[in-house]
Amino acid sequence: MKKKVTTLGQFIIEKQADFPFSKGELSRLLRDIGIAAKIVNREVNKAGLVDILGEVGEVNVQGENVKKLDVFADEAFISALSSGGECCAIASEEQEEIVSIENLVSRDAKYVVAIDPLDGSSNIDVNVSIGTIFAIYRRTSLSGCGTNEDFLQKGTELVAAGYIVYGSSTMLVYTTGRGVNGFTLDPSIGEFCLSHPNMTFPEGGNMYSINQGNFVHFPNGVKEYIKWAQEDDKATNRPYSLRYIGSLVADFHRNLIKGGVFIYPPTAAAPKGKLRLLYEANPLAFIAEQAGGKASNGFKRILEIQPETIHQRTPLFIGSREMVEKTEDKMLKYMATEVK
Ligand code: P6P
């Protein structure tokens, strides 16, 4: 018997019925993100075929060489969100300042979106999975174009969050605070179709993701955790396997499905780590918690961190609950001697 196909659009409408007073703005905003994701997916899939690779030659606000697909993805999401009328401002990894959406349709819109349009873009040229990460807040400003303050809200205030992973297949995974659901793009009909309902981390897990090349610079708690993970103890499924793609969305997605912990720790040179709070750590932390997992900076719940600036960084320990807690135990052991 043919399985019923539920598209992202149908799913959003069905779920909207759970919010009787909702006027559909969030539904339309999620739809706009889905549309932009399909446009970016088309270009990502062509990347090897047309001259869209290579560097634009500019350096973005993060001090990294900008790849053409980064620019394309940023423009695609800004365009879709600007014309959709449900978002009044965007904070993007590719934009130093927030993008206030001036048009009449969006000026008084209810939501703001923080986004990493194409994370892991250094992997584009080697055909490794990359991703988009988005976080949706209700604005705190009363009207007009969005302001910086609209974005400086704790992750606990998130209304919705999600990611798109452009890999062997393209998936959109999101939460509105009532569980996590995954949709796989069916290119034959151009629709994201529900393929992973109610995603949760499996119990336990035996994979850890970290750039072990930086071992000498890690805090002692992380060094001790890595040595613990490598011990031979069949009863606790150790030694664990090290799986690190160097693309946050791909590493997180694999760990969500198979169980695992992803660690981007602080170092003396980068005490806040590398990853961004607003549009990388917070949205993935919301998803992780909704999927029964955990996300912290080694000591504190990611979603409780009060943002001060839109591009601020944070260390990130995220994934299966028990595995994150084990890393926190190790970090706590050295807290007194290490926290700056
Ligand atoms: P490193 C990609 O540049 C990225 O922002 C994340 O996608 C990824 O997890 C991380 O950086 C990799 O950083 O320092 O290990 O190369």
- pTM attached to this predicted model: 0.94
- Stretch among 9-13, 98-102, 122-126, 213-217 having the lowest mean pLDDT: 122-126
pLDDT tens digit sequence for 96-118: 999 999 888 888 899 999 999 99
Question: Which stretches of the chain are assigned E, i.e. beta strand?
Answer: 55-59, 65-67, 87-92, 99-100, 111-119, 130-138, 160-166, 170-175, 180-186, 191-196, 207-209, 241-242, 261-264, 294-296, 316-319
Distance 145 CA to ligand 1 centre (A): 32
- Atom nearest to 213 CA in ligand 1: 15
Residues 6+ apart with CB under 8 A from 240: 206, 207, 208, 229, 230
Atom of ligand 1 minimally distant from the CA of 250: 7
Q: Across residues 48-61, what is the average pLDDT?
A: 56
Q: Which residues contact ligand 1 via a Cβ below 6 A?
A: 119-120, 122, 211, 246-248, 274
What's the mean pLDDT when you consider all of the chain? 91
> Which whole number is the average pLDDT over 135-160?
94
Q: Which position has the token pair 């703005």?
A: 25
pLDDT of 239 over the 70 cut: yes
Residue 339: per-residue pLDDT:
62
Instruction: Check pLDDT > 80 for residue 256.
Output: yes
Residue whose CA is at the smallest distance from ligand 1 atom 4: 120
Structural domains in the chain, CATH included, are: 8-196 (3.30.540.10), 207-339 (3.40.190.80)
Question: Per-residue pLDDT tens for 289-339?
Answer: 999 999 999 999 999 999 999 999 999 999 999 999 999 999 999 887 776
When pLDDT is cut at 50, 70 and 90, the band that residue 46 belongs to is confident
